[in-house]
Structure 1
Amino acid sequence: MRAIDIYRTAEFTDLIETDQPLPSPGSDQVLIKVLAAGVNRPDLIQRKGLYPPPPGASTVLGLEVAGTIEAIGSEVTGFKVGDPVCALLTGGGYAEYCLASACCCLPIPKGLSFIQAAALPETFFTVWSNIFDRAKLQAGESLLIHGGTSGIGTSAIQLGKAFGAQVIVTAGNDEKCRHCEKLGADLAINYRQQDFMEAILQYTNGRGVDVVLDMIGGDYFPRNLKCLAIDGRLQQIAIQRGGKSEINLASVLMKRLTIAGTTLRPRSDEFKAKIAEQLLEKAWPLLESGQLKPIIDSVFPLAKAAQAHERMESSQHIGKIILEV
């Protein structure tokens, strides 16, 4: 089968198309014929050698796919050969076929294409587990999302609004801010032109927000804490601007703040299965009704995975970047 692998030398790293053996599903796995695969920032980090896959995971890039089930393991129930599914993976998505734990597969919402469905697993699992499962966002509360036009951001805006939250986002230019507002954001802040901390405190009359979803880290960390209201919760899901920061812990104590950091990829199948059940119950009906929709920035053929990575690295994208197989 065709698969995209990493070619690395001392001077540079590239993505190349290779021929690899067809994998066989374990007892609790399914083999998926991949029709579309999502591109995510962890793929870029792995390509650079900074994010190795968990033990036992495929070394091929790709954390989410959509396609049809080609074969099933002996203990798999609820799926059959030929079923259209989308799946969260620990790796292997940039290929014609991949393995997925059956519990991490979900039916494709009615009315969605394979390309649209490939945009769902990584972002929806991440957003749901962080905003609703861990941060316990409630209707009537406020949510700050950094990177509002990323795949995570566009999904978080829609999910936050669907469940009754006030949503504030940051984005890198006015065009991106307008896109966020069209998706339902109550306030979109161009962080290149405004200090987001000052803008949020002014907008909330000094109260701050209840939940922050941040993938930036670095110097954003102390500013996020200042943006939080009493009993506020910060969910740190990535550290694009670095993992070091200096903060005043007094504010954590005085405002009773909760700070949590998570990564999804190494979590157990049992954990991911619980999130899948919640998504199927709460989010999938909203996707089928059209209240939620995956936002697709661009689609590249599998052989042009390197160009898809370049598109993501440019930070010009709005929504998900997809590989078509």
Structure 2
Amino acid sequence: MKAAVMTAPGGPEVLQVQQWPMPILQHDRQLRVRIKAAGINPIDTKLRQRGTFYPDQMPAILGCDGAGIVETVGSAVERYRPGDGVYFCQGGLGSAAGNYGEYIVVDERFVAPKPSSISFVAAAAAPLVLITAWEALYDRGRLQAGQRVLIHAGAGGVGHVAIQLAKLQGAAVCTTVGSLDKADFVRQLGADHTILYKQTDLVPAVLDWTQGDGVDLAFDTVGGTTLMQTFPAVKLYGDVVTILEPAATTHWQVARSHNLRISLEMMLTPMLQGLIAEQQAQAKILEQCARLIDQGDLKIQVGQTFPLAEVGAAHRLLETGATKGKIVLNLDD
């Protein structure tokens, strides 16, 4: 099969399309899936730059997000048959091959039926961001109806899904964006208030929107100084969830004086730690989201697609931070 193989840590040029051995089933609950599309996420570019979590297992195939058609099933597989469409977040961290290739082997317990109303490209864009936003808002942030939430980078991959999930929970949403075009985009997704962060001071804008109270929950998808700058915009005893590691220079005084509850969200933990039940729970999240998608209540924005041969260009575009929604490799191109 063809795959985009990471030959060493470095720039996009280290991703080389070459022939790779066809994956085979290792146990009886696995599926072999013919990949139709693979989502590209910031974790992919980070692993490409610095090396995978398993540097002794090189070369590697990146790509956590995939959507495709079941081709072969193990003898104990219960839910899926050849021809079924599935989507999932599995592999691509360095120990198991990822989705930047024509085939992958995955455990049936960790995949979900593909939403029937969207393309494989859109489905491949969805898993990591759906699980991340769901866990951050619902599990870590305990978001409730009637609360007010600040979502950073609302036009991004995680952000555009988080806006919709927050609205489905009955929350009011304020989000930061970098342009008027992106502001229009997030309003179409349901955002109640937008802040052009390049020209507007975040904290006064949020406090004005909340009549001086601050938001109940802030969701940081940006990292760096954004986390610390957000603390004064959160109400006393409020919640802050970040998907990035807090910077060593973060000052915690405001967070402490406001008695904020700080939560860290890393949806890759179950896969990295080999946690079976937690990976199954994430597959259940994808099943619930598939129903929301097919009901028309949740939309996945694909910003741009690339063929497998142009995976390096896809990485370069993602690293600019200029896209709306997700970037996807279309393996049918």
Shared fold per TM-score greater than 0.5 = yes
Letter aligned with residue 46 of structure 1: L
Distance, in Å, in 1 between the alignment partners of 2:285 and 2:62 is 26
Superposed, 1:15-164 pairs within 5 Å as: 15-27=15-27, 28-52=29-53, 59-91=60-92, 92-164=98-170
1:81, 1:12 → 2: CA distance?
A: 34
- Name the residue aligned to 1:270: 277
Residues 53 and 231 (structure 1 numbering): CA distance in 2 closer, same or farther, change over 3 Å? Answer: farther
Offset at 1:110?
Answer: 2.1
Q: Deviations over 1:284-322 (max 9, x none)?
A: 222111121111101111111011111111222101111
Shift of 1:129: 1.2
Structure 1: runs of 5 or more not aligned: none
Residues 258 and 192 of structure 1: CA distance in aligned 2, closer, same or farther (over 3 Å)? same
2:181 partner SS = helix
Which residue of 238, 243, 247 corresponds with 1:243?
Answer: 247
Deviates more, 1:25-34 or 1:149-158: 25-34
Partner of residue 255 from structure 1, selected from 241, 258, 264: 258
Does the CA contact (< 8 Å) of 1:222 and 1:246 recur in 2?
yes
CA spacing shift, 1:11–1:229, aligned 2, 3 Å: closer
Cα gap change, 1:212 to 1:90, in 2 (>3 Å): farther
Amino acid at match of 1:275: Q
The answer as to whether partners of 1:201 and 1:207 remain within 8 angstroms in 2 is: yes
- The whole-number CA distance in structure 1 between the counterparts of 2:59 and 2:261 is 35
Amino acid at match of 1:22: M
* Cα distance in 2 between the residues matched to 1:77 and 1:55: 35
Give yes or no for contact 2:8–2:59 (8 Å, CA) kept in 1. no
Helix, strand or coil at the partner of 2:204: helix
1:182 — aligned with what? 188
Give aligned-pair identity as a percent.
31
**10-19 or 137-146: bigger deviation:** 10-19
Tell me if the contact between 1:44 and 1:309 (Cα under 8 Å) persists in the aligned partners: yes
Q: Which runs of 5+ in 2 are unaligned?
A: 93-97
Matched, 1:317 2:323: yes
Distance (whole Å) between structure 2 residues aligned to residue 179 and residue 225 of structure 1: 26
8 Å contact kept, 1:301–1:323: yes
Q: Distance between the aligned counterparts of 1:187 and 1:211, measured in 2?
A: 15
Aligned residues: 321
Give 1:171's aligned residue.
Answer: 177
Q: Give the TM-score of the pair, scaled to structure 1.
A: 0.92
Q: Aligned partner of 1:34: which letter? A: I
Q: How far is the alpha carbon of 1:217 from its aligned partner?
A: 2.3
Q: Give the TM-score of the pair, scaled to structure 2.
A: 0.90
C-alpha displacement at 1:170, in angstroms? 0.9
- The structure-2 alpha-carbon separation of the partners of 1:11 and 1:118, relative to structure 1 and needing over 3 Å to count, comes to closer
Cα 1:70–1:286, aligned 2, differ >3 Å: closer, same or farther?
A: same
For the residues of structure 2 that align with 1:193 and 1:71, how far apart are their CA atoms?
53
The residue number in structure 1 matching 2:293 is 287
The question of whether the paired residues in 1 share the 8 Å contact of 2:7 and 2:58 is answered with no
Q: Which amino acid aligns with 2:31?
A: V
How far has the Cα of 1:226 moved from its partner?
1.2
Say if 1:11 and 1:185 are closer, same or farther in 2 by CA, change over 3 A: closer
Using the alignment, how far apart are the partners of 2:50 and 2:286 within structure 1?
32
Question: Judging changes above 3 Å, is the alpha-carbon distance between structure 1 residues 9 and 29 closer, same or farther for their aligned structure 2 residues?
Answer: closer
Shift of 1:18: 1.4
